[in-house]
Amino acid sequence: MDNTPAERREQIVAWLREDQLLRIDELVQRLGVSTMTVHRDLTALSEAGLVEKVHGGVRLPDPNLVTTETCQMCQMPVKRRLHFVLTTRDNAVIRACCPHCGLLLLHARTDVKTALLRDFIYGRIINVHQAYYVVESRIAVCCVPSVLAFASQTDAADFQQGFGGQVMQLTQAYAFLSHSHHIHS
Ligand SMILES: [Zn+2]
Ligand SMILES: [Zn+2]
């Protein structure tokens, strides 16, 4: 495989959604790269809070853990459950408390390489471009207006049926947030 680091890292996270735990030697084999490269990828992912290294392998962290990190937008503590992580071209990691702040940060920057977040129902890690957002539902777990992310359009629509709000894709959610004039203080 001839992947960039960003592609490999997303692939590792995608595999972890299926397997829960992966051994390092298995990743070396699947990715066709050296053990050193896998270690570098795992270090980057674990610094971003996306994976947890265990002896000889790696797994997804417990989504219910509250981290010690704070949101770069509103300074609230980052909850794993709503975790939103941006990686810049310089490999700096920027975290947000929830998709509300994450999308505002993402929109404000031009140096973002990858942007990942968690599905609100299952805690799976998804790419911001593939997510569906339910905006302004009655479930306000973090910043207002509430923005929650879902891996599938069906899940987002089901959620919207129960809890109100509007289902949007990335560009619509951006537009909504930039017109809502609200930033958590
Ligand atoms: Zn925030
Ligand atoms: Zn928030």
pLDDT at 2: 63
| pLDDT at res. 153 | 96
Taking CA 116 as the corner, what is the angle to CA 72 and CA 136, rounded to the nearest 5 degrees? 70
Same domain for 101 and 135:
yes
DSSP three-state, residue 87: strand
The pLDDT value recorded for residue 78 is 83
pLDDT for position 185: 42
- C-beta separation of 181 from 141 below 8 A: no
Does residue 77 lie within any of the structural domains? Answer: yes
C-alpha 177 to ligand 1 mean position (Å)? 13
Q: Is residue 20 in some structural domain?
A: yes
- Domain count of the fold of the chain: 2
The ligand with the least distance to the CA atom of 70 is: 1
Residue 81 sits in the same domain as residue 162: yes
Q: What is the pLDDT of residue 64?
A: 59
> What separation in Å is there between the alpha carbon of 44 and the centre of ligand 2?
24
Do 73 and 52 reside in the same domain of the chain? no
The answer on 91 and 39 residing in a single domain is no
pLDDT of residue 76: 85
**Ligand having the closest approach to the CA of 99:** 2
Based on the fold, state whether residues 34 and 11 are members of the same structural domain.
yes
Structural domain of 49: 5-59
**Ligand 2 centroid to 103 CA: how many Å?**
10
The ligand that comes nearest to the alpha carbon of residue 141 is 2
- Tens of pLDDT along the chain (185 residues)? 567 888 898 899 889 888 889 999 999 999 999 999 999 999 988 877 788 888 899 998 776 555 668 899 998 888 777 789 999 998 888 999 999 999 999 999 999 999 999 898 888 889 999 999 999 998 888 899 999 999 999 999 999 999 999 999 999 999 999 887 555 44
Same domain for 73 and 14? no
Q: Are residues 171 and 88 in the same domain?
A: yes
Quick one: 36 and 118 in the same domain? no
Map residue 3 onto helix, strand or coil.
Answer: coil
User: Is residue 185 included in any domain, yes or no?
Assistant: no
Q: Within a 10 A sphere around the Cβ of 184, how many other Cβ atoms?
A: 16
- 89 and 50, same domain (yes or no): no
Instruction: Give CA–CA dist 87/42, Å, rounded.
Output: 14
**Within a domain: 114:** yes
pLDDT at 20: 82
Ligand with smallest separation from the Cα of 147: 2
> Do 109 and 137 reside in the same domain of the chain?
yes
Q: What is the CATH number of the domain that holds 35?
A: 1.10.10.10
